[in-house]
Copies of this chain bind each other. A is one copy, B any other.
Amino acid sequence: MMPAPTYRDILAARPAVYRHLERTPLHEYSLLSEQLGARVFVKHENHHAVRVFKVRGGVYLASTLGEEERAAGLYSASTGNHGQSIAFGGRVTGTPVTIAVPEGANPSKVASMRSLGAEVVFHGPDFDAAREWIEREAERAGARFVGPADPELICGVGTYAIEILEDLPDVDTIIVPVGAGSGACGVCLVAKTVDPKIEVIGVQAERAPTQQRTWKAGRPLLGPMETRAEGLATRVPFENTQRIMRHPTLGLDDFVLVSEEAMENAIRLYLEAIHEVAEHAGAAPLAAAIDLRERLAGRKVVLVLSGGNISSADLRRIVA
């Protein structure tokens, strides 16, 4: 694994990312701008074929493997976006991918990973059991185990932050959801290296505030993990992403929490005002912007719509 990444490492990830993925648009939406009293731009990471920013990381990580590593394949654990992203990266680079999921994992997500060519193995009663098992399997096979925020993933996903600056060089504030923290770190490394005055705000859920509490306290603090926002649900703080998010010059300016209700209102607003499907984590930056309305007034604000993989049941409930 590579050491902590820099802006230059993110630049270096671009050719591999663009070999298999397209730039995503940054659109200004006047209906959102009027509603928020700011100039609101949305970064459409939900426009990837697998609907989530993480796919950039999966593609880049897979592209860095040597011939032997590629032959040994990638091993990881996930029930959602992370697994799909590694599967996609494996498919486009010809790397076998094995994903462990707990018994009883969501069948539609399993189907989605399989349709991307990954081998999905059910193991153990919960996510941690599946993860520990597959990590040992990887070691035994002499293959790469991929964690949720490995440095190559940060480099890959950071390419979207460079696109934001290319499209809106005078951005004032970028609001980004935080799960493991790869997206937030990518945004911090890019925006703060270019100009520390660009404000970067992280968002987690009130019902899963582990990373936020740890960031505030400067030491590992656990919280509950009861959010519906899969992409924000972090059981333990991640040491490598916390180090970047708390960095004195490159770190986040602020880290806020949003309620479940605020996220679902934001999902509804995205759907009705701009006809876009956001999952809970993807809508969290819009929810945060509504909460921070006064502070953002008149600023050029980018909301990272990080993913669109919401379940049909949730979508139906929220729209109704």
Residues of A within 8 A of B (CB): 22-23, 25, 27-31, 34, 44, 46-47, 49, 51, 111-112, 115-116, 271-272, 274-277, 308-310, 312, 315-316, 319-320
Please, how many angstroms separate the alpha-carbon atoms of A276 and B51 in the complex? 10
The smallest C-beta distance from A311 to any residue of chain B, in angstroms, reads 9
A49→B34 contact, CB < 8 A: no
- Give the interface centre of A112, A276, A315 by most chain B CB atoms within 10 Å: A276
Quick check: B116 and A30 within 8 Å, CB to CB?
yes
A-B contact pairs, 15 of them (CB 8 A): A30-B116, A31-B111, A31-B112, A31-B115, A34-B115, A46-B275, A271-B277, A271-B315, A275-B277, A275-B310, A276-B277, A277-B277, A315-B319, A316-B320, A319-B319
The contact of A44 among B30, B31, B47, B312, by CB within 8 Å, is B47
Specify which chain B residues have a CB less than 8 angstroms from the CB of A116 in the assembled complex. Answer: 30
Contact B49 A272 (CB under 8 A): no
| A80 shortest CB reach to chain B, Å | 13
Contact (Cβ within 8 A) B49 A28: yes
Given known A-B contacts A22-B23, A276-B277, A30 and B115 have beta carbons under 8 A apart: yes
Cβ contacts under 8 Å, A46 to chain B: 275
Chain B: minimal CB distance from A231 (Å): 14
Which 8 residue pairs across A and B have the least CB separation, nearest first? A30-B115, A27-B49, A275-B277, A275-B308, A272-B312, A319-B319, A316-B319, A22-B25
